[in-house]
Amino acid sequence: MAASNGRETGEMKHLSDQDLMRIVQAGDYSPASEIYDRYSGRIYNFAFRFLKNAEAAEDAVQEVFVKMMRHANQFHGDAKLSTWLFSITANWCRDYLRKADNKVKESDDVLVQLPAPSELSPDRSLEQRENEQLVRKALGLLTSEQREAILLSRYQGLSYAEIAQIAGCSEGAVKTRVFRAMETLKKALAGEARGGTRCLNVVQ
Partner 1 sequence: MSECSAVSERMPLLLTESLDATRRETTHQHIESCAVCSEEWSAYKETWAVMGDLPEVEVPARVKASFLARVGVGVPVPRSVPNNVPDSIPDNVVPFHKRTAFKWVAQAAAVAVLVGGGYLAGNRTAPAIDPTPARIARVGEYQNVSTKPLSLSETRVMDAGALDPEFEGRPNISNVQFLDADASDDQIAVSFDVTSRWTVNGNPREKSMVRLLSYMLENDQAMTPRSNALEWVRQTYSDPAYADPEIANSLAKVLRNDAHEGVRIRAIETLSALPPQMTVQTRDALIDALKSDPNPAVRIKAVEALANMTRGGTALDPGMVDTLRQKASQDDENLYVRVKAAEALSNIKP
Stretch that binds partner 1, among 81-89, 93-101, 129-137, 140-148 (CB under 8 A): 129-137
Rule CB under 8 A: is residue 135 a binding residue for partner 1? yes
Nearer to partner 1, 39 or 90 (CB): 39
Stretch that binds partner 1, among 82-90, 91-99, 101-109, 187-195 (CB under 8 A): 187-195
Distance CA 2, CA 8 (A): 6
Nearer to partner 1, 97 or 189 (CB): 189
Rule CB under 8 A: is residue 124 a binding residue for partner 1? yes
Q: What's the alpha-carbon Rg for the chain, to the nearest Å? A: 19
Nearer to partner 1, 121 or 170 (CB): 121
Distance CA 165, CA 45 (A): 19
Contact 12, 31 (CB under 8 A): yes
Report which of 55, 21, 57, 34 is spatially closest to residue 151, judged by C-alpha positions: 57
For the chain, count helices (H), then strands (E).
10, 0
**How many C-beta neighbours within 10 Å does residue 102 have?**
14
Nearer to partner 1, 73 or 204 (CB): 73
Stretch that binds partner 1, among 18-26, 83-91, 93-101, 140-148 (CB under 8 A): 18-26
Side chain identity at residue 197, one-letter code: T
Question: How many Cα neighbours within 13 Å face the side chain of 182?
Answer: 8
Q: Contact with partner 1 (CB under 8 A): which of 5, 74, 118, 170?
A: 5
Report which of 149, 136, 147 is spatially closest to residue 200, judged by C-alpha positions: 136
Distance CA 21, CA 76 (A): 9
Rule CB under 8 A: is residue 61 a binding residue for partner 1? yes
The binding site for partner 1 (CB under 8 A) comprises: 1, 4-5, 22, 25-27, 29-30, 32-33, 36, 40-41, 44-45, 48-49, 54, 58, 61-62, 65-66, 69-70, 73, 114, 117, 120-121, 124, 127-129, 131-132, 134-136, 153-155, 157, 159-160, 175, 178-179, 182, 185-186, 189-193
